[in-house]
Amino acid sequence: MNIFIVVPAYNEGQRIKKVVELLLTKFSNVIVVNDGSKDNTGEEIKSLPIYYCEHAVNLGQGAGLKTGTELAIGLGAEVIVHADADGQHRLEDIEKLVIELEKGNADIVIGSRFLGVKSNMPKRKKIILFLAKLFVRLFFRIKITDPQSGLRAFRASPVGASAWPKIKFTYDDFRHCTEILFLIKKNRLKFVEVPIKVNYDEHSCNKKLRPKIKMAAELLLDKLIK
């Protein structure tokens, strides 16, 4: 299987090199999309054997993933994994997702932070994610334990069953995550969740949640009105 790991990065100069070097120990095709970073993200990884592309301006995580995914497909990817650049996703979990996908029981495999393995997630984030789960279940009838998970693997083979472009989302920002779930449901794709552990260091714990909550609320309103 031709596996591509797509990593969107925004101002990850402090972490990106380590993250990519670790990915390269197991995967030979890594795409990093530098999403208009204002720091040294690009310089940090330019010498590494990866596919590197950049947005001239910051467009958002969704836009980065879209650019990377389209590039991966152009390069002949059969399996695509979306993973973060901040070191929160573990290599062993990425491998777990790929193994699950290769079993052939699902079109898309999503990592869940709420299935057995405990992550050291801040309490306020836990509450927000619990509410997101309830909303998605209540209003959209999608049963998933971690609707905001950014770690996913899917088939992208040009031959045979492929989740892309069925899950090609339109939102450029964090809303793409929920939109993918709608698209999975709309296109009757099969997803499975596998337990993952996500690291929350000081940097992650200090991130502001408000912009993400605002986006989630806007998305729900959008979908409810339509």
Ligand X SMILES: Nc1nc2c(ncn2[C@@H]2O[C@H](COP(=O)(O)OP(=O)(O)OP(=O)(O)O)[C@@H](O)[C@H]2O)c(=O)[nH]1
Residue 88 is a binding residue for Mg ion (CB under 5 A)? yes
Q: In this complex, which beta carbon is closest to Mg ion, that of residue 209 or of residue 224?
A: 209
Residue 86 is a binding residue for Mg ion (CB under 5 A)? yes
Q: Which stretch binds ligand X (CB under 6 A): 55-63, 70-78, 139-147, 159-167?
A: 55-63
Residue 61 is a binding residue for Mg ion (CB under 5 A)? no
Q: How far apart are CA 141 and CA 145, in angstroms?
A: 13
Q: Which of 94, 100, 105, 110 is nearest to 143 (CA)?
A: 110
Contact 133/144 with Cβ under 8 angstroms? yes
Q: In this complex, which beta carbon is closest to Mg ion, that of residue 84 or of residue 172?
A: 84
Q: Are strands 30-35 and 51-55 parallel, antiparallel or unpaired?
A: parallel
Contact 83/140 with Cβ under 8 angstroms? no
Residue 8 is a binding residue for ligand X (CB under 6 A)? yes
Q: How far apart are CA 178 and CA 147, in angstroms?
A: 6
CA 38 to chain centre: 22
Task: Provide, rounded to whole angstroms, the least separation between the CB of residue 103 and ligand X.
Answer: 27
Taking residue 192's Cβ as centre, other Cβ atoms within 10 Å add up to 15
**75-90: b (≥16 Cβ within 10 Å) or e:** eebbbbbbbbbbbbbb
Q: How far apart are CA 202 and CA 24, in angstroms?
A: 25
Q: In this complex, which beta carbon is closest to ligand X, that of residue 64 or of residue 147?
A: 64
Write the interaction track for ligand X spanning residues 69-108; mark x where CB under 6 A is met and - where it is not.
---------------xxx-x--------------------
Q: Which of residues 46, 126, 207, 214 is near ligand X by CB under 6 A?
A: 207
Q: In this complex, which beta carbon is closest to ligand X, that of residue 162 or of residue 178?
A: 178
Q: In this complex, which beta carbon is closest to ligand X, that of residue 61 or of residue 112?
A: 61
Task: Provide, rounded to whole angstroms, the least separation between the CB of residue 175 and Mg ion.
Answer: 16
Instruction: Using CB under 6 A, list all residues that contact ligand X.
Output: 8-10, 12, 35, 58, 60-61, 64, 84-86, 88, 150, 204, 207
